[in-house]
């Protein structure tokens, strides 16, 4: 399976980022990482079949590096990104099967 990268401009709000990362996961396959690079938030996807709506990716802004996902959700990755020009820490999780 191939890996695909998707850049999101730093001016996007976190809500916009969430929507677009979800859409890109639907199009490309599993999200495997998210990281701030320069003026972009770069999401990495492992290409393949996308998840049904009930198990699509959930992104949340967190305060520290050790934040855990909500109950019933599995950790996908931790990373960094932009929320309307402000750097934030991001936790990506998915509902458990």
Partner 1 sequence: MMVESRIRNFLLSILAVPVAGCASFSGMPKPVLNIAAATTIPSDLQPDTAIMSLKDKTLDEQRLLRNRIIAVYVSAIDARYAEFRRLLAREVRGGNLGLDVAALGLGGLGSLAKGSANELAAASTFLTGSRSSLNKELYFEKTLPALIAVMDANRFKARGAILSHLRDPVDIYPVELAYADLANYELSASIDNAVQQLTTEASKKFEAEQSLYASLTASCDPDDKTEQVWGGINNAVYRLAGHVDPDTEPTAFPGTARPQDLARVATAFTGNTYNPATTQAEADRQAVAITSAIRGTCRVDQLNALISAAQLKVE
Residue with Cβ nearer partner 1 (48 or 85): 48
Residue 49 CB, shortest distance to partner 1, in Å, is: 4
Residue with Cβ nearer partner 1 (25 or 78): 25
Say if residues 90 and 80 touch (Cβ distance below 8 Å).
yes
Residue 34 CB, shortest distance to partner 1, in Å, is: 16
For the record, the structure tokens of 38 come out as 């320069």
Residue with Cβ nearer partner 1 (20 or 80): 20
Say if residues 61 and 83 touch (Cβ distance below 8 Å).
yes
Ramachandran region, residue 28 (left: φ > 0; alpha: ψ -120 to 50; beta: rest): alpha
11 near partner 1 (CB under 8 A)? no
């Amino acid at each position: 399976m191939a890996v695909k990268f998707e850049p999101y401009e730093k001016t996007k709000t976190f809500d916009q980022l969430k929507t677009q990362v979800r859409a890109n996961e639907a199009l490309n396959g599993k999200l495997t990482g998210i990281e701030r690079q320069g003026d972009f938030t770069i999401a990495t996807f492992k290409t393949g079949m996308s998840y049904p709506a009930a198990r699509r990716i959930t992104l949340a802004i967190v305060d520290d590096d050790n934040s855990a996902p909500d109950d019933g959700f599995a950790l996908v990755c931790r990373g960094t990104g932009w929320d309307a020009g402000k750097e934030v820490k991001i936790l990506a999780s998915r509902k458990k099967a």
